[in-house]
Amino acid sequence: MKRALIVHGGCDEGFLPQKEMELRTQGVRKAFEIGLDVLQGSDSALDAVESVIVTLEDDPHFDAGISGSFSNMIGEIEMDASIMDSNEAAGAVIRIKNFAHPISVARKVMEEIPHIILSGKGAEIFARLMGFRETSPDEQHANTDNREMEKLPENYREFVKKYSKLLAEQRLFSTVGAVAVDSKGRIVAGTSTGGIAHAFPGRVGDTPIIGAGTFASISAGASATGLGEGILRVGVTRKLVELIEGGQAVQKACDRVIEICSKRGSPCGVIALDDEGNAGISHNGFFMPTMYSRFD
């Protein structure tokens, strides 16, 4: 059976400087090469996806992990991640703080506890129990999007107006994700993010929600990036996989879900692999770095 790996570094709708595009492309290439080595060596789609995303979580040019995640409105880094395989095993963490690799914690949720999602303090307690090292504040370098930090105002209704306008102006979505297929036919998809710039504390996007940011079945796996609220409304990755299960080619299925998102005005990008390792890549943004390989 063919093995395959595909990686994305997020979909940006707005303009990026050429140097930043080059650095993100280099970052995706580095993570992809590490994941490819793991897939070739261990023949484990799960290990490959985790290794790719861990590498991207350590890269400050992506919105994931403690190095590059956007800070929220009160200056905190809150991160989400999820992972799922074709046996319908899944794990996710929501709004976890102070741990460098949320994707690894999500994998442990999948493997070590009879739940799919842990959030906030519960996710952090679980991470400590699993032996993950908690980071100190001075190890965290939040991406503040070069804008003055918003503060929670006393006038809530005025705040909602300003906040809604801020959300409408979001253009940078450098969430990271990967999908892999190993020779045993196991398909694994994973996604990790720090959310959106200046988010309201506790805001949850699509990344940790199975069927929105990440989904896998025996037929295909997918990872999404973009504005989480729009991806949640469409159920992008589940819809994409269901289209493939219904007989559509993987690229056509990717194009179809992006068409749906575009009609709704939702920035979005997707990657997917079917059970034969065929790839699909589609987005409606300005730039989405990706890499893909399929081999025996």
Q: Do the domain assignments include residue 113?
A: no
Q: Do the domain assignments include residue 251?
A: yes
User: What digits encode the pLDDT tens for the residues 262-271?
Assistant: 999 999 999 9
Q: Do the domain assignments include residue 258?
A: yes
Highest mean predicted confidence (pLDDT) among 14-23, 146-155, 158-167, 209-218: 209-218
Residue where the block lists tokens 């063919």: 2
Q: Average pLDDT in the 144-157 region? A: 53
Q: Do the domain assignments include residue 7?
A: yes
Which residues participate in catalysis according to the annotation? Answer: 175
What pLDDT is attached to residue 145?
46
Q: How many structural domains is the chain composed of?
A: 1
Least confident range of 71-85, 135-149, 202-216: 135-149
Task: From residue 258, give the alpha-carbon distance in Å to each of 204, 220, 253, 284.
Answer: 21, 17, 9, 7
User: What digits encode the pLDDT tens for the residues 73-121?
Assistant: 888 899 999 999 999 999 999 999 999 999 999 999 999 999 999 999 9
Q: What integer best gives the mean pLDDT of the chain? A: 91
C-alpha span between 66 and 87 (Å, rounded): 30
Q: How confident is the model at residue 199 (pLDDT cuts 50, 70, 90)?
A: confident
Q: pTM score, two decimals?
A: 0.92
Q: How confident is the model at residue 71 (pLDDT cuts 50, 70, 90)?
A: confident
Q: Do the domain assignments include residue 128?
A: no
User: What digits encode the pLDDT tens for the residues 249-288?
Assistant: 999 999 999 999 999 999 999 999 999 999 999 999 989 9
C-alpha span between 61 and 31 (Å, rounded): 13
Q: Do the domain assignments include residue 132?
A: no
Q: Average pLDDT in the 186-210 region? A: 93
C-alpha span between 274 and 166 (Å, rounded): 37
Strands (E), the chain: 3-8, 79-85, 90-96, 117-119, 176-181, 187-193, 214-216, 220-226, 268-274, 279-283, 290-295
Structure-block tokens of residue 199: 């988010």
Q: Do the domain assignments include residue 12?
A: yes
Q: Do the domain assignments include residue 111?
A: no
CATH number of the domain encompassing residue 213:
3.60.20.30
pLDDT exceeds 80 at position 149: no
Segments forming the whole domain that contains residue 160: 3-87+141-295
